[in-house]
Amino acid sequence: MDLDAYADVHRERWAELDRLARRHPSSGADVDRLVAGYQAAATDLARIRAAAPRSATGDRLSLTLHRARLRFTGTPADPLTVLTRFFALQLPAALYRIRWVTVWVAVATVLVASITAVWIASTPGAVATFGTDAALRQYATRDFVDYYSDHGLGAFTAQVWTNNAYIAASMVAFGITGLFVPYAIMQNAVSLGVSASIMHSQGRLGDFFLYIAPHGQLELYSIFLAGGAGLMIAWSWIAPGARTRAQALAEDGRALITVAIGLVLTLLLSGVVEATVTRQEWPWPVKIGIGTVALALVLAYQWVLGGRAYRAGERGDLDEFDRGAAAIIAG
């Protein structure tokens, strides 16, 4: 079949169907024409697909048919179904896609933080550049510990949550630049290293790890996830593979921006742990254990549920017709 010739013969009828599908029918005659045009175009699409399974002509006609079908059979998606699909398939699949990048972000953060802390602690006079002896002593013995109990539970949770969620969302949103995520990761790692070195200089390094461990496991991993998503979005246009750069950026951007929504929830959980668990006079193994369980739940969601969704073909992107037709690419 000559697709160009076939399209020329039927283009006017397809255009009429598309016009009818784009507006609400105003009369019974319009409905009859819509149904008749749909039936004829469906037959045309079957013939086109038999000759060429994927073609620009077939994709355009398929989209017109979908739009027409919604006029007489379509119903809005059930919100509960949409939410279930998002949290059971789209979000875990998107998190699964960035699993290894997340690991490398974590490794980079630990390395930079460790190098920073060791360098400051081993360099004479380096710690003194961050404040006087009295200020450093107050930071290590009072400010660092009292930070977790100076504010009310609700206000402290909201403060921690909004601050961390803003940082995570920024890393995902500005990941396209390719520069913002490395800068944010470096800044976060250096801050950790500086805090650890100050605590060490005052003989309170143990408190540094104890007070961070309950909530910090999930909080830091959430930041690592944000960095992984941002880097993957940047990589989509740097190395798009067989796709065009615009197509790769659109597909991966849509899929991975969902990670920001998931991070709002993981950081909320981390903030609750930080506000309600870290300040308690419970044994440290209990407090750290609660933080470990929270992290384990997120890891299972990402690696187990996400792996299952990914192997089933889910990538975190929208459905075919929600995201629109894709350009045909050779190869």
pLDDT at residue 331, as a whole number: 44
Nearest-angstrom CA–CA distance, 283 and 213: 13
pLDDT at residue 185, as a whole number: 94
Query: Token pair of 262, please?
Result: 């998931």
Q: Band of the pLDDT at 77, cuts 50, 70, 90?
A: low
Nearest-angstrom CA–CA distance, 223 and 220: 5
Query: Token pair of 316, please?
Result: 């975190």
Identify the residue with better confidence: 330 or 317: 317
pLDDT at residue 48, as a whole number: 87
Segment 41-47 mean pLDDT? 89
Residue 108 pLDDT > 90? yes
Query: Token pair of 98, please?
Result: 């960035």
pLDDT at residue 305, as a whole number: 96
| Most confident option among 63-77, 101-115, 120-134 | 101-115
pLDDT at residue 301, as a whole number: 97
Q: Band of the pLDDT at 147, cuts 50, 70, 90?
A: low
| Range with the poorest average pLDDT among 8-17, 85-94, 120-129, 282-291 | 8-17
Q: Band of the pLDDT at 155, cuts 50, 70, 90?
A: low
pTM more than 0.85: no
pLDDT at residue 157, as a whole number: 66
Segment 246-275 mean pLDDT? 87
Query: Token pair of 172, please?
Result: 């995902």
pLDDT at residue 201, as a whole number: 93
Residue 20 pLDDT > 90? no
Nearest-angstrom CA–CA distance, 48 and 54: 9
pLDDT at residue 188, as a whole number: 92
| Most confident option among 137-151, 157-171, 281-295 | 281-295
Residue 330 pLDDT > 50? no
Nearest-angstrom CA–CA distance, 7 and 5: 5
Query: Token pair of 255, please?
Result: 């899929």
Q: What percent of the chain is predicted at pLDDT more than 70?
A: 89
Task: Please answer whether residues 136 and 199 qualify as being in contact, where contact means their C-beta atoms are separated by less than 8 angstroms.
Answer: no
Start-to-end C-alpha separation, the chain: 22
Nearest-angstrom CA–CA distance, 276 and 152: 10
pLDDT at residue 117, as a whole number: 95
Mean pLDDT value across the chain? 86
Segment 213-238 mean pLDDT? 93
pLDDT at residue 35, as a whole number: 85
| Residues near 86 by beta carbon (within 8 Å), at least 6 away in sequence | 258
Residue 21 pLDDT > 90? no
Please state the length of the chain.
Answer: 331
